[in-house]
Amino acid sequence: MKLQLRPYQADDFETLYQMDQVCYERGIAYSRRTLREFLGMPGAATWVALAGADVAGFLIALCDASQGHIVTLDVAPTERRRGVGSALVAKAEREMAATGVRVVELETAVDNAPAILFWQKHGYRAAGIYRRYYRNRTDAFWMVKTL
Ligand SMILES: CC(C)(COP(=O)(O)OP(=O)(O)OC[C@H]1O[C@@H](n2cnc3c(N)ncnc32)[C@H](O)[C@@H]1OP(=O)(O)O)[C@@H](O)C(=O)NCCC(=O)NCCS
């Protein structure tokens, strides 16, 4: 099925919240309040991937001058390994580069092997570790890519 990417709309909120609950374990998944805060931050840009009429995934990025930050990337379990995550990252990187971003960073849990492989495939490299980064005290890799 053809994948479409479009900006976030307010009525996507509950779908994105529920998807985040499925994508991340307790202690890492966002509360509604935190998700709302990220979506509304200055410099925030959110893209939603649609497979037909269904939301297949989404990505939130924050831009601040030459620095970009991928806040979260979520792909519905049934839509994985079909290029949805890659399409969202490519879109985010293109849009960020167009606004002057040169370096993109993100955090991912040190025990999230699929995500680490995914980010490495997209050129992100571990540049450090944040100890007990998540509410459940899991450490995070700080990963960085120069566009
Ligand atoms: C990580 C995640 C975003 C990947 O999304 P996706 O749409 O399945 O990724 P893609 O289909 O674009 O995969 C691109 C490549 O990444 C790598 N990859 C993705 N998932 C992988 C997995 N489970 N195991 C190993 N490599 C994987 C592969 O190299 C893959 O290419 P291939 O399928 O040709 O082998 C998705 O698994 C997800 O939402 N996980 C839960 C939330 C999460 O961990 N988000 C990222 C942390 S911020």
Distance, CA 119 to ligand 1 centroid (Å)? 8
DSSP 100: T
Prediction pTM value: 0.97
Domain formed by 3-146, architecture: 3-Layer(aba) Sandwich (3.40)
CA dist 84 to 76, 78, 81, Å?
Answer: 9, 11, 7
pLDDT tens for each residue of the chain, 147 residues long: 789 999 999 999 999 999 999 999 988 999 999 999 999 999 999 999 999 999 999 999 999 999 999 999 999 999 999 999 999 999 999 999 999 999 999 999 999 999 999 999 999 999 999 999 988 899 999 999 999
User: 58 CB contacts (<8 Å, ≥6 apart)?
Assistant: 8, 12, 16, 19, 46, 47, 48, 49, 72, 73, 74, 88
Rounded Cα gap, residues 119 and 126, in angstroms? 9
- Of 63, 78, 80, nearest to 117 by C-alpha is 80
Q: Which of 5, 30, 81, 106 to mutate to test the pocket of ligand 1 (most atoms within 8 A of CB)?
A: 81
CB-side neighbour CA atoms (13 Å) of 141: 18
Instruction: Tell me the domain boundaries of the chain.
Output: 3-146
43 with 91: CB under 8 angstroms? no
- 3-class secondary structure, 93: helix
